[in-house]
Structure 1
Amino acid sequence: MLYLDLTVTGLMTGVFYALMAIGLTLIFGILRVVNFAHGEFYMVGAYTYTLLSTALGVPVWLTLPAAVLVGAALGWVTERTLMRPLYAGYSSWGLMKDEYAIIVTFGLSLLLINLVDKVIGPYPYRGPELIDTARVHLGPVIADGHRLMATGLGVAVIAGVFAFMRFTVAGKQVQAVAQNRLGASLAGIDPGRVSAAVFAASGGLAAFAGGLLAPIINASPDVGVFTAVKSYVVVVLGGMGSVAGAVVAGLFLGVAESFGAVFISYGYRDTFGLVILILVLMFRPQGLFGEKGRSV
């Protein structure tokens, strides 16, 4: 009973880790950079969901899509205004200057944190739950109603991402640009448009996770910092650029933390992922699903 309960709890947590990490993975797969403002996209989604619901009285089933749209818009604007000038001027085929991208996204992270702190305030805000049901019985396991609903929505979105990448023309264009930017350009695919779309999708996914978790992890200016750290761990564990790896690693990390908190110590719960990351980097640096090298 205990093992089943811990497994279910860990898998539910892992879904949110995977949801956050997929956006980072897509960006790395296309641009080969890490977005250090990814956690702030999460934070913006959490605030959008919470403030629209509590301050304006908008129904939660409308505020959640609104959070996604705001996060996607922020991602699109970020790519168009901050990221694109960095690589468009560097090479005709859009090769990114890694060090500049790190500085820009880190600066954007600090800007958004301090802007929200000054405009909205440093105090945390708790978002409304999606459903009023406090407890749901899943056989011998008892789950929180909102967490269960949020997990179901997260699984549906993750499945939608896989279906999009596998079965749609746009998804295959994303894969083509990730594999070979120059080759995709010669085939008639616009890498700039794909990059903007991926940044928008990444922002939307992070904001969606922020909205789902707003009733569990209160919205605050720095709420995305720790969440982003977990996302980076998941991305590296799964393999940089691997969407499937991000999902598997997210679920694995959630279960590992769930068991470790009970059988080792809850106080070290957030360090288990770092320990696992160190072990993976020692014995399999490319991650669970990553490649050792990239051929062009």
Structure 2
Amino acid sequence: MDRFLSMGVFVKAVELGSFAAAASAYGISAPMAGKHIRSLEAHLGTTLEHRTTRKMALSDLGRAYFDRCKAVLSEAHAADAMVKDHVGAVRGMLRVTLPVIYGRMLIAPLLVQLATEHPALDLVLAFSDRPSDLLREGYDLSVRSGLPADGGGLISRKLAEYPMVVCAAPAYAAARPLQEPAQLADHDGIFYSRSGRPRPWRFPRAGGTELDVMPRKRLLLDDLQSIADATEAGMGFAWLPRWLVEDRLETGRLVQVLTEHAALRLSYFLIWPDAQFLPLRTRVAIDAITRQLAA
């Protein structure tokens, strides 16, 4: 058997926790994945892992062999990518995971334009608001809000920072004037949540502290666009990133309230695996996104 391929199957089986998952990643059958592992063990004259019906566990030698195999494969892939970058165009499959609305509105158009400029570049865009495991799921890039993801085999670069705004339909806001964020607790709010539990709306205060305010829960949705729609329909106040409602504010379909008060700012990061050599397609995508959006 191809020992290089067998090493790759072995590494993937350890990373994903099963022969079946490794087989799926390589497009082979689970029995064939098992044959690759047994071929390695026969070549080495030792057992690399202890298998049960529920899990697989590496032997001490298996763990050391896994670490070396991973390093060897990384070097080989980096060498291949380096040569291909120098002799060819931007090509191959670029897999990117994006938050649903932000990704659809601000990132996907940039990547589609990039693919238009480079006909040999293929795109796989996965839209989800759940955090993704880039290394386990095999993505080249990710865009996420929150804290940077440096460490753990990942590198992150800050893309942009947007203020959170409290907004409402014009008639709704006019009938419920607000002077202080704390007054929101007496009014209806439209909340975003993936877990089913609403989080308080946060407002920076002097001294680096924050004020948490929890309006009455009128609606709880897991889609930002639907929250903006419900807000425009007059269902209550909403606390949303300004990038999402910019057009609605400019056209007067929504109005921002509490404009005299400091706003929490939400950061977005571009994240990619910490590899010795990034493929040209990944580097070009990073450059294209950061050129348009970087803070």
When the two structures are superposed, what TM-score results if normalisation uses the length of structure 1? 0.21
- Specify which structure has the higher proportion of strand: 2
Larger radius of gyration: 2
